[in-house]
Structure 1
Amino acid sequence: MEYGQLGRTGLKVSRLCLGTMNFGPQTTEEDSHAIMDRAHELGISFFDTANVYGWKKGEGVTENIIGRWFAKGGGRRERTVIATKLYGDMGDWPNDGRLSALNIRRAADASLRRMQTDHIDVYQAHHIDRDTPFEEFWEAMEVLRQQGKILYVGSSNFAGWHIAKAQETARRRNFLGLVSEQSHYNLLVRAPELEVIPACEDYGLGLIPWSPLAGGLLAGILRKIDKGRSATDHMVAELDKHRDKIERYEALCDEIGEDPANVALAWLLTRPAVTAPIIGPRTIAQLDGTVRALEVRLDDKALARIDEIFPGYRTAPEEYAW
């Protein structure tokens, strides 16, 4: 396993982050525990979750699964850098979601109880809250850090200017500020290259791409369909929209001699500011397969051909101005 710094911090994390969104809805608790154990065997130390995962309002299904795994002991908690998120509604009352100081306090305590731990390593805002000023956000996070309940703060789905505003507010308060940003970033979704990645580079945030395989489109979907695998209506519609690119991409992967999923992950690992793409295996076999991505080396020719298939963006404003 390869390890790197999370942004500008001294915290080292694995270059692949284990996403847990499937734990509960698609993967049983027993299998989820087995996947997390296997992740540790492979050297994956960085796990990501959220209070809303499990998709049963207020229950925190996935965090509870992780908490019962931590409770087994054996160094499971000590060897894990756990990142969770808040923002989504966990109840039906007005302050049961978003980023008010009240919800930050309540949500943090609830996540700690569910995960049976005394601190959260990286506490992330799942979305920008346009109704809460960053002064309030940072004051609440500072209190949690002083109490020892969180160590670092991250963001998710922030625009570049949100990152800048958050960091400048934190700077005025002499606070560390954001150390990471989770963005929707993959070969088919390259918009973060305009402003999010430059903001991460300038402010020293580690970028954690989510949906690195575009919901399966970059995981060899054509091959799987040819072998009789079924696809959802949504997946079929997305494939029809991008079929030419996917066909060319899978042909390139055949030439390289690597699985499309691993090429997509390996490409992300070459991108500026990227610390660790989030992988979301439903089975141990899927988890084992993704580790190969760390060994895939894409030369300049391969990277150029990938850019031909999936054109990216130059940094703003050059992309749309001079």
Structure 2
Amino acid sequence: MASTIEDVAARAGVSTATVSRAMRGLDGVSKRSRDKVLEAARELGYVVSPTAQALATGHTGMIAVIVPTFNEWFSANVLEGAQRRLQSAGRLTAVLSASAVRGRPDYDVDVVSLRRRIDGVVNVSLPLTDEETREVAGLGVPVIAVGNPSPPFASVSLADREAGRIATRHLVNLGHRVIAYISGSRDELEPNTPGGQRLEGWRDVLVEEGLEHGPDLVVNSFFDVRGGHDAVLELLERRPDVTAVFAAADMIATGAMVALSEYGLRVPEDISIIGVDGDDTDPWVQLTTVVQDPAEMGAMAADLLLQIIGGGAVPEMTLVHGRLRPGRTTARPRDPEAADASPRRPPRR
């Protein structure tokens, strides 16, 4: 037997009017009550009829979620978290992908076709040019960016500078003194991107400790496994004295470990490596990382979007805090002298 709005109200301990407002994303409902209603609806499998919702509110009931790719861990999990939350609120989800050249997403969504067909947009990790920002803003619907802050739109993202500090502090506390950073951008890092913010966190800690933090300890590379592989070899040609590497993402860290293994360098005995994400792509490696939860970020973005659609105000930026997850890829330097000594240098390719 299908659940009714009365069933949801009884489960959540609120009135049917509160259930109706919460499920339709309207204001006048506290966050605590909204969360209770959405949880009750999920447990009971209750979904608002999109047709009824459109008639009641004048909205289409459709939310567009734009992702740069379907097969990347972060995007896929944000999409899942957002879609589940929107579905529980009786919203339909239109998923659109934007083509991407390696290292440089290319926004090519037909914005005109979305006009008057959607109530809002969730933009997942896709940086927009000024022209693209104007096009999206021209839709006249609320927009939430996830992963990459995109003014003037509200955003949900990892506290990236803090994540950089957490990762670097972990390495410093282990006794490392020559710590490099591998970014996720082949070009010069923009300060407000995740890679740029994580770089600032790396620099913050090294400055506080009076440790070297010059440009020769930073390698700009692509946000993928191959980028990490090539970057760490470039780094060791330049600075063979490095004993620890902070990679801007777990994929980069994985590629770096592959390259080090190919040339006979051990992790963490010769070089410690830490990443950011916690994607668990290889549970046998047990990478030390700063964990984030993209599915929860997607759900948060969906909640904020529904709040805006309902006439509520939201903060310009919502930061999600990462946490350190120690693994097997970081350790103290080999011996007391190793903090200032050079690991074995890989042969030239």
Greater gyration radius: 2
TM over 0.5: no
TM-score (norm 2): 0.30
